[in-house]
């Protein structure tokens, strides 16, 4: 009986629709796990790069020195460093055009940083919707396989004169495997999605705080340069 009711045995004897559903769910599950590990490593890298740049930013280096470093480190820079570089780049372009109005300088730098922030967040959030879809759809796909399997089992039993539990049980068990695998695919995806959503919210808050702090520093610099000009 143990051999008859092993998952592999049940799947081999299931209808082709149930087998197809299970194969689909297994493929989705493998893809989902690959996405989970990729996102885990990428978020860890983002956090480390942001913390490293933040230490440099508050270490007392000049903005020009930080900007030069950011330009030289384009390939290995993190989101915070790229946002800083975009703000400084726009600020310096406006200064080169002889624009001295503090509000125009600050608006230009802020717009550049907000645009860079949005690009960074789009990149960080990529593939997150796939995990949400897996978590919400997989149980229903598994349930479809189960319903189909049960219908198939009862259709086969209709031709029998005497129906016993021993004859019904294998067909029902085959069908229920699809629901189990649907949940197996969905549960890790939902847990990972919730965890990554919280982590991404923290990254977004940190980046927005940095934009405000850097804007204040730029504003002070603009004010100091305006006063020295007068």
pLDDT given for residue 2 in this prediction: 43
For residue 229, is pLDDT > 80? no
Q: Are 78 and 44 in contact (CB under 8 A)?
A: no
pLDDT band at 160 (very low <50, low <70, confident <90, very high): low
Cβ neighbours for 106, distance < 8 A, ≥ 6 positions apart: 215, 218, 219, 222
pLDDT tens per residue, range 46-79:
999 999 999 999 998 889 999 999 998 888 899 9
Q: Could you tell me if 175 and 153 are in contact, meaning their C-beta atoms sit under 8 angstroms apart?
A: yes
Closest CA to 53 of 86, 89, 80: 80
Integer CA distances (angstroms), 54 to 66, 105, 106, 171, 193, in order:
11, 23, 21, 60, 27
Question: Alpha-carbon distance 73 to 28, whole Å?
Answer: 37
pLDDT value at residue 158: 66
The predicted model gives 179-197 an average pLDDT of 94
What's the burial of 103, exposed, middle or buried (CB within 10 Å: 0-12/13-18/19+)? exposed
Task: Lowest mean pLDDT of 106-110, 174-178, 205-209, 221-225, name the range.
Answer: 221-225
CB 190 within 8 A of CB 135: yes
pLDDT of residue 225: 63
**Which pLDDT value is given to residue 7?**
65
Q: Structure tokens of 22?
A: 């299970």
């Amino acid at each position: 009986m143990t051999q008859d009711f092993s998952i592999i045995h049940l799947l081999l004897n299931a209808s082709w629709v149930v087998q197809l559903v299970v194969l689909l769910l297994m493929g989705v599950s493998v893809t989902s796990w690959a996405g989970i590990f990729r996102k885990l490593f990428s978020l860890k890298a983002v956090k480390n790069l942001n913390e490293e740049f933040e230490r440099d930013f508050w270490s007392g280096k000049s903005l020009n020195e930080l900007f030069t470093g950011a330009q030289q480190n384009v390939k290995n820079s993190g989101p915070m460093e790229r946002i800083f570089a975009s703000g400084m780049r726009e600020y310096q372009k406006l200064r080169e055009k002889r624009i001295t109005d503090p509000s125009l300088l600050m608006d230009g730098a802020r717009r550049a940083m907000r645009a860079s922030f949005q690009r960074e967040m789009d990149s960080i959030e990529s593939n997150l919707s796939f995990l949400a879809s897996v978590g919400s759809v997989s149980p229903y796909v598994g349930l479809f396989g189960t319903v189909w399997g049960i219908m198939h089992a009862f259709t086969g039993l209709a031709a029998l004169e005497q129906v016993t539990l021993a004859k019904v049980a294998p067909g029902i068990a085959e069908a229920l495997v699809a629901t189990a695998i649907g949940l197996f695919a969905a549960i890790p995806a939902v847990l990972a999605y919730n965890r990554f959503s919280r982590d991404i919210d923290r990254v977004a808050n940190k980046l927005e705080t940095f934009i405000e702090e850097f804007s204040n520093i730029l504003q002070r610099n603009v004010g100091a340069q305006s006063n020295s000009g007068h």
